Structure 1
Amino acid sequence: MKNLIDKFLNDSINGVERERLKVWLEKEKNQTKFKNILESHYEINLGLQEIDLEKDYSILLKKLLSHKIAKRRPSTTWYKIAAIFIGILGLGYLMYLTTKNLNEIYVDENTITIMQDNGNMHLIKEDGSMEIVDSKGNVIGKQNGSHLDYRNIVAGNSDGATNESLTYNELIVPNGKRMKLILSDSTIVHINSGTRLKYPVKFIMNQERKVFLEGEAFFEVTKSKTDAFIVNTDKLDVRVLGTKFNVSSYPNDEVVNTVLVEGSVELNATKSTEKDDEKYLLMPGQIGSWNKSVNNMRIAITDVDEYTSWINGQIIFKIRPFPEIIKVLERHYDISITNNYKLLENQQFFAKFDTETIEQVMTYFQSSIPFSYTRVGDDIIINEP
């Protein structure tokens, strides 16, 4: 999309490309990416601090979505607006750099990244290897391909003092990617596409082991009789001592799903809900589904393979609604799917995919219920047949 945005800024975008960019910008998350791309492309101008940022960004977006745009004619107004917008954004950008908070800095959206407490950011190359170091130069983790290992890290600071407080790293895995993480206690975490996991560099003895999840991950927790392992999500905490389970908690999903493979887990509603004192126990082969809109838990027997097959690169749908399937496909293939065929909204499907391309996947669904679709780059639009 960066190439299309560059063409738009240069007023050299054609009609087909403009339509593709318009469809992409219909999603709020992509509008945020659009802002970040602008930030990285323009010079910072601190002399324009009195401009209304949101108003000027609205003008930019309105210009893009408008059909009444002169083609192949330079737009001086456009460049002024863009310069104003980036000027305001630039002030915040420098503040982030000063405080070492780099969360808003644009990087390639397809890159796996690690954010450290000290503000350092590391880009992970899946075909490479590197060492993760702390502010004192101590090696705290090692990356080799799609594996990240925090075992056998230094036990204390360089002066020999023991660490008394937790230091966190955050691993960000974009759509279309997966990562395997081994925590300092040897707990193994398989991290699915479109996921952020915040975790301590080293757990502290005789304290609970707590990580923070936004997205989906499968945990193989190292057993401890005293130190509970807690996965914190937006609406639910999953508490265990040692077990294997999968947690899916994406921001745009209606439910938080926890599937237990072996052992036992306790699900606790967080303090952000009215049921923060309620606890739910899962047995192996069960799924606990917490509905975020109504604060309600549903526990049922399930086929765990349907929810854990992604670890091996597979996708399994066993009577799943098409809207849910779309979300899984978007994350797995790193694409955007827009469904304009209302009939599909109420359909459920049974399917299993392994090495199929997205085109082969779409053909499979077409064989069940005919529909047409077009693909331009990473955007797929489904229409009536």
Structure 2
Amino acid sequence: MKDETPGRLLDRYLKGECTPEEQKRLEQWLDERSAADTHDTTSFNRNEVQQRLKAKIDRQLAARPLVYMSRVIRIAAAVIVILLGTFLIFKNTETGNATYATTRAGRGQRLRLTLSDGSVVTLNAGSSLRYPRVFKGNSRHVTLLEGEAFFEIQPRERCPFIVGTANIQTTVLGTAFNVQAYAAAKEVKITVVSGKVAVKESHRSEAMVVLPDEQAALSPAGIQKKQVSATDNTGWLQGKLQFRNESLEKVALILENNYDVTITFSKEATRHIRFTATFSTNDPLDKILFAITKANKLSYSMKDKIISL
């Protein structure tokens, strides 16, 4: 008997063409997959699939006798549960496309995940990463969609690890480094802890090599490299909030992600005030706000989760 894929078996079932053996195999697959914690972020047309399946399920519910109804309902429910997950992965596997996942650390959270090659990524609060479920081919490419992440890359000869952001690309073979790419900050910073990386703008071919305790920063003016303390720039991994001559606008962004609040500025000039200090992520927010306002002769007000400086 031809070994049908789950997607094709599902179509055959909804058309009433499944043999008893195929039906049993499909139900077993649904039972195995319905509890799986799977999500996919490919460009697959989910709405089209959802509408097609819904229409077929509705037709089957209308046509089947009541004695058969419970089984149809159970399969329909299972399809809906996994529609945006395992089913889409099988569909993409059939077309030969890689499947991707997006993982996000919520506000006030930090998240550590291990990729399929054994590399480890730690996401800072409010950050999100898109990555293949399984790396294939001669490169390993992930995208930091927003925020900050620390990468510990497993060496793989002739298979570089590439981290993309909106406008910069970092290529490594095996190293540890930090990428900060908050969209609101309009700047990307790559800090190397060990090994070395090659950093380039997405639209350029030439790359800049960055070594341990060096930082490449991309702004509208281009890429600049400088000596830094890698320890200071990765303090968030140890639960520290370290600000080194940062604008209050950038400080506010970090606090928003760590304390799940919204910070506004009553005056535009306040955004550009520079601030240097170190706190713990366990410190209460009012302690940090007091230090900021005291150092800069400012005041703040708070209502619910909205803070005005």
2-structure distance, mates of 1:211, 1:183: 10
Q: Which residue in the other structure is 1:287 paired with?
A: 215
1-structure distance, mates of 2:104, 2:260: 15
List runs of 5+ in structure 1 lacking aligned partners: 1-94, 102-117, 122-133, 139-156
Q: Which residue in the other structure is 1:266 paired with?
A: 198
Higher RCO (CA < 8 A, seq sep 6+): 2
Equivalent of residue 120 in structure 1, options 62, 84, 87: 84
> Greater helix share, 1 or 2?
2
1:332-374 Cα offsets, whole Å, 9 max, x none, are 2111111214563443222111111111111112221232211
Q: Which secondary structure does the structure 2 equivalent of 1:367 belong to?
A: helix
Aligned CA RMSD, in angstroms, stands at: 2.6
Equivalent of residue 295 in structure 2, options 368, 372, 375: 368
Read off the aligned partner of 2:215 and give its amino acid letter: I
Q: Which residue in the other structure is 1:127 paired with?
A: none
Q: Which residue in the other structure is 2:74 paired with?
A: none
1:13-45 Cα offsets, whole Å, 9 max, x none, are xxxxxxxxxxxxxxxxxxxxxxxxxxxxxxxxx
Equivalent of residue 303 in structure 1, options 213, 225, 229: 229
Contact 1:184/1:202 (CA < 8 Å) preserved in 2?
yes
1-structure distance, mates of 2:89, 2:186: 42
TM value normalised by structure 1: 0.55
Q: Which residue in the other structure is 1:316 paired with?
A: 242
Is 1:180–2:112 an aligned residue pair?
yes
2-structure distance, mates of 1:373, 1:228: 47
1:226-249 Cα offsets, whole Å, 9 max, x none, are 110000111011000000001111
Is 1:198–2:130 an aligned residue pair?
yes
Indicate the percent of aligned positions where both proteins have the same amino acid. Answer: 25
Q: Which secondary structure does the structure 2 equivalent of 1:372 belong to?
A: coil
List runs of 5+ in structure 2 lacking aligned partners: 1-44, 52-81
Contact 1:214/1:234 (CA < 8 Å) preserved in 2?
yes
Q: Which residue in the other structure is 2:284 paired with?
A: 357
Q: Which residue in the other structure is 1:226 paired with?
A: 158
2-structure distance, mates of 1:136, 1:363: 50
Q: Which secondary structure does the structure 2 equivalent of 1:329 belong to?
A: helix
Deviation at 1:136, TM superposition (A): 9.2
Is 1:213–2:144 an aligned residue pair?
yes
Is 1:278–2:278 an aligned residue pair?
no
Read off the aligned partner of 1:347 and give its amino acid letter: I
2-structure distance, mates of 1:253, 1:324: 6
Deviation at 1:171, TM superposition (A): 1.0
Contact 1:326/1:337 (CA < 8 Å) preserved in 2?
yes
Q: Which residue in the other structure is 1:256 paired with?
A: 188
Deviation at 1:100, TM superposition (A): 6.0
1-structure distance, mates of 2:238, 2:206: 34
Q: Structure 1 residue runs of 4+, over 6 Å off?
A: none
Deviation at 1:177, TM superposition (A): 2.0
TM value normalised by structure 2: 0.68
Residue-pair matches, total:
231
Q: Which residue in the other structure is 1:151 paired with?
A: none
